[in-house]
Chain A
């Protein structure tokens, strides 16, 4: 089985996000970037399948500016065999990314594509679903467990009030939930090995995909500051405030 995993470079989850003064977006200059945590889980799952002998090849792909290579290199250090970087300085929207991934899937013919369920920067949660639709493949989103038998994969999904298990025919698109696995630290020897692994570079034009944004961002603003709470003396006072100040009852 051949597995393709998509990884995204995002602002590190530890960074306190700042909105740019001109309200066009968030500040990314001098900000630490790293791999989207859900994508780390996707890579980890791929590496485990390779280690178990279920997968023969694991390809890590990503799209974006120059820094993207570093994120792909992280995936290689965790255990992916090779990487593909689609270089683009456009703001890539989920549909554009899904189209690029479809073009890569047509080229690479993987049996399974694993993605994080969403990226922690825009929280869109769309790419995996769009990709499955474009390819006409089965999809198992929010996976917390995968089991393979023959040409099928059973996907356990976390849904409201319990777990749901789907049995998908492959090829299929999987998106990962937090509890699928705990990603490993890339070990020092593997970091050194990753230096020698190849990352193919191509452009959206090479893949015949138009990535021109279809959405216009009007403005990006910080959430309203939370006011400090007040202590009320009596239940009457509380009711009065809820009625007349908060106007919720």
Chain B
């Protein structure tokens, strides 16, 4: 049994860390304007990302990316999470955001929808969540009904990131509401200029995202824009959703590490009532808990990623990585904020941003309670 990262990944880790320390942390409060990277910063940082050879690092080799395995990606995600410089939810500096579902398109669809995204010519959004269907997507009410060579889509979607900037959407709709997530949901490629699509309103949030609510009113989509077969909307989702959950865990490692760096060094500097904070057990224990949870999370994430790279099924490991990673990294940001006192609340330091980001992840992309529900089913099967 070997718990070391392979030599090339430890080199990769060192390099991304150097990049983050030298190029991103010094400017981390200046990179974004609101929740988007400033254009001049984007150009400068994209050039550096290309020199690092990390362009499209999460896109498969056959589509022109680096095709990194999950462990390698986890290493990169972890190191990047040590800084708040880059938006946590939007396209970053490593190439266009390519939704993994696009890799499952047929050849004709790839020509129109995958390759233009990789080339940076088209932008897409992921349209699944509804006011009454989030972590339980099988309950969605948006329907797609077939009429001859077309599907007609009707319904309302909420929390759609980037809807205003998108050329097309990957829309999930019920083709059989009875079956729900068991074969009743289909996915479609829908051009955003199709008549009947309305952007209703954009919402302010405490996270790096200003998502949209959008309406589909008799939106007619050619039948050839169906992804896969009818009812197979979630067929390919399992793999990349598991990867996405591991990503949360990997990010958590980076966040906890940064919180430890900030928290421990401030605790040594700040003297209250004649004693450094670092000498007080209340503060020491906060740091020790962060240190221990960092170790736990790193082992969990590395093991899950390693197993996925061996071809293993990491569904349950991925639930644990997300739930443990998001909650513990949020707690780390919270403790780090507490150690810093009032300073921790200011935008001079990155803590409040990490705090908001990590808090939001406990809800988005799979809330803790739903992950625990799935884990409960498994633990009762396995040990009951």
Q: Give the B-binding residues of A (Cβ under 8 A).
A: 34, 69-70, 73-74, 77, 184-192, 194-195
Contacts and interface: CB of A to CB of B under 8 A. Distances in A.
Contacts of A189: 53, 66
Contacts of B68: 188
Given A188-B12, A191-B15, A191-B53, 15 more contacts: A77-B8, A186-B11, A186-B15, A187-B53, A187-B54, A188-B52, A188-B53, A188-B54, A188-B57, A188-B68, A189-B66, A191-B11, A194-B8, A194-B11, A195-B7
Interface residues of B, number: 16
Contact of B52 (A70, A73, A74, A185): A185
A69 B53 CA distance: 23
Contacts of B178: none
A185 B51 contact: yes
Contact of A74 (B11, B19, B57, B66): B11
Nearest to A14: B21
A10 to B, nearest CB: 14
A234 B64 CA distance: 72
A184 B66 contact: no
Contacts of A194: 8, 11
Contacts of A195: 7-8
B11 A187 contact: no
A190 B8 contact: no
B18 interface: yes
Interface in B30-76: 51-54, 57, 66, 68
Nearest to A32: B14
A184 B53 CA distance: 12
Contacts of A192: 8
A194 B15 CA distance: 14
A190 B7 contact: no
6 A-B pairs with least C-beta separation: A187-B53, A188-B53, A189-B53, A185-B15, A191-B11, A191-B8
Nearest to B15: A185
Interface string B1-22: 0000001101110110011000
Given A185-B18, A188-B57, A188-B66, A73 B11 contact: yes
Q: Which of B8, B10, B12, B68 has the most CB of A within 10 A?
A: B8
Chain A binding site: helix, strand, loop or mixed by DSSP? helix
Nearest to B21: A14
A77 B51 contact: no
A187 B66 CA distance: 11
B51 to A, nearest CB: 7
Nearest to A76: B11
Contacts of A73: 7-8, 11
Contact of B14 (A34, A184, A190): A34
A189 to B, nearest CB: 5
Contact of A190 (B10, B18, B53, B66): B53
13 contacts: A34-B14, A69-B7, A73-B8, A73-B11, A187-B52, A187-B53, A187-B54, A188-B52, A188-B57, A188-B68, A190-B53, A191-B8, A195-B8
Contact of B51 (A34, A69, A70, A187): A187
Contacts of B57: 188
B44 to A, nearest CB: 15
A69, A187, A188, A191: most-surrounded residue (chain B CB, <10 A)? A188
Contacts of B8: 73, 77, 191-192, 194-195
B45 to A, nearest CB: 13
B90 to A, nearest CB: 22
A77 B13 CA distance: 13
A36 to B, nearest CB: 14
Given A185-B52, A187-B53, A188-B12, A70 B18 contact: no
A187 to B, nearest CB: 3
A187 B18 CA distance: 12
B11 A77 contact: yes
B10 A70 contact: yes
A69 B68 CA distance: 24
